[in-house]
């Protein structure tokens, strides 16, 4: 296992690298830095994973810090996948002091069910009780936030 540093200080996170990684993902293609930074600033917890001085992983959590948390934007640099970084990052995030009281976690994934099942995530057992309002993600080249 490579030596990793978990960073939860926004000022220390390389948002140029985060934006590049997320812009190549299936869930936020071509996302811009302004939108990434806006989302991070409005999140409960943001984690950057570093190997030496290079950001190799990222995730964030939206939460009320009492009952519910949504884990999203979990991503590992493709050059470092398969080395346990995703597992380390998720374990660290789920155990973070800021989220110690949360007992309901939610996430969406297309292809990482095996990773998340290791931490107790399961498919929704009563989908008829859940609803979603979702529109197509807008193509934004000039996201301005607030």
Contacts 24+ apart (CB under 8 A), 48-52: 48/6, 48/7, 48/8, 48/12, 48/13, 48/14, 48/18, 49/4, 49/5, 49/6, 49/7, 49/76, 49/85, 49/88, 49/89, 50/4, 50/5, 50/7, 51/2, 51/3, 51/4, 51/5, 51/80
Q: What is the mean pLDDT of the chain?
A: 93
What is the model's pLDDT at position 139? 72
Domain boundary assignment for the chain: 5-123
CATH code of 5-123, in short, is 3.40.630.30
- Using 50 as the pLDDT threshold, list the residues of the chain that sit under it: none
Both tokens of 131, joined, read 């609803």
Q: What is the pLDDT of residue 142?
A: 65
Q: What is the pLDDT of residue 1?
A: 56
What pLDDT does residue 135 have?
Answer: 84
Q: For residue 144, what pLDDT is reported?
A: 67
pLDDT in tens, 120-136: 999 998 989 988 888 88
Predicted local confidence at residue 8, as pLDDT: 96
């Amino acid at each position: 296992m490579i030596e990793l540093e978990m960073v939860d200080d926004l000022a220390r996170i390389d948002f140029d690298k985060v934006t590049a990684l997320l812009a190549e993902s299936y869930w936020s293609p071509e996302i811009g830095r302004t939108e990434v930074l806006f989302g991070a600033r409005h999140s409960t917890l943001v984690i950057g994973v570093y190997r030496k001085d290079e950001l190799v992983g990222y995730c964030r959590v939206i939460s009320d810090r009492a009952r519910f948390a949504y884990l999203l934007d979990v991503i590992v640099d493709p050059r470092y996948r398969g080395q346990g970084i995703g597992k380390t990052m998720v374990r660290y995030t789920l155990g973070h002091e800021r989220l110690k009281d949360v007992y309901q976690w939610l996430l969406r994934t297309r292809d990482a069910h095996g990773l998340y099942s290791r931490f107790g995530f399961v498919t929704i057992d009563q989908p008829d009780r859940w609803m979603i309002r979702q529109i197509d993600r807008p193509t934004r080249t000039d996201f301005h936030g607030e």
